[in-house]
Amino acid sequence: MREIVFDTETTGLNPATGDRLVEIGCVELVNRVETGRAFHCYFNPQRPMPFEAEQVHGLSERFLSDKPLFADKVEELLEFIGDAPLVAHNASFDFGFLNWELGACGRSIVHLGRMVDTLQIARKIHPGAKHSLDALCSRYGIDRSHRVKHGALLDAQLLAQLYVELTGGRQIGLSIGEAIVEEVIVVASPRAVVASRTIRAIRPHFASEEELERHRAFVEKLDAPLWLEGAAG
């Protein structure tokens, strides 16, 4: 199963009042394993960067001034995400900006049925706890020491690890009772190599006739075993 974990950085909180998307980072998962494929881009928002927003992600108006417009990169983005489910933390925020930008350049919006919100998942698993990305990474032992400021690609990579933990960990694809289990093995590289390895399901375990006979012979040598007390009569 292919899924895309993504994160965005913006000029503010509401695209309806003029805020714009300035960065997007997407990480590809196949069967809950990172393939090494990613999409990352900065965008020129064509508006000033508020001081408060710059303090969060460190992206200045000057830095973004020579970056492409969202419309210039929309084809590459849509090709990368395809029709896969899209995973984000507080996903309604990221979907709101993504769909606003898509609509602004005449593209179809992403259906909300594709949305997977790790914030909602975390709230169900850990009610009453802290649910920020930082807090959840600490809970699950995910190294975020290199995260000084918010960054869309870095946060998407951290979220991909968190998503795997929230949905059952690395063994999620292995199930007992099936004849064959497929596990995706990936080699992280600019051109990721994806291969399949066939893993046999756990085979039935039962004693052979020889083992049963040896067991009977052993039991006969026991002197008044406890489990036979009261059996006579």
Q: Which of the residues 111, 150, 205, 215 is marked catalytic?
A: 150
What region, left, alpha or beta, does residue 19 occupy, with left being phi > 0 and alpha being psi -120 to 50 degrees? beta
Distance from C-alpha of 46 to C-alpha of 143, rounded to nearest angstrom: 35
H helix runs in the chain, sequence order = 51-57, 61-64, 70-81, 91-104, 118-125, 133-139, 152-166, 209-220
In tens digits, the chain (233 residues) has pLDDT values of 999 999 999 999 999 999 999 999 999 999 999 999 999 999 999 999 999 999 999 999 999 999 999 999 999 999 999 999 999 999 999 999 999 999 999 999 999 999 999 999 999 999 999 999 999 999 999 998 877 678 899 999 999 999 999 998 765 444 444 443 343 333 333 334 344 444 455 555 667 788 888 888 887 888 777 766 665 55
The answer to whether 87 and 114 have CB atoms below 8 angstroms apart is no
DSSP β-ladder status, 86-88 and 115-117: parallel
Q: Verify whether residue 57 is a known catalytic residue.
A: no
> pLDDT tens, 109-159?
999 999 999 999 999 999 999 999 999 999 999 998 877 678 899 999 999
The predicted structure's pLDDT at residue 223: 79
Distance from C-alpha of 101 to C-alpha of 214, rounded to nearest angstrom: 74
The predicted structure's pLDDT at residue 106: 96
C-alpha dihedral sign at 46, 51, 52, 57 = positive
Distance from C-alpha of 132 to C-alpha of 42, rounded to nearest angstrom: 24
Strand, helix or coil at 200? strand
Instruction: For residue 24, give Cα distances in angstroms to 60, 71, 141, 176, 233.
Output: 15, 13, 25, 38, 79
The answer to whether 36 and 195 have CB atoms below 8 angstroms apart is no
Contacts of residue 161, Cβ cutoff 8 Å, sequence gap at least 6: 137, 140, 142
> Could you identify the residue written with the tokens 């898509």?
102
The predicted structure's pLDDT at residue 180: 39
Query: What would you report as the CA-atom Rg of the chain, rounded to the nearest whole angstrom?
Result: 26
The answer to whether 45 and 64 have CB atoms below 8 angstroms apart is yes
Q: Which domains are delineated in the chain?
A: 2-174 (3.30.420.10)
Counting DSSP H helices and E strands in the chain, the numbers are 8, 7
Q: Tell me, what amino acid is at 201?
A: A
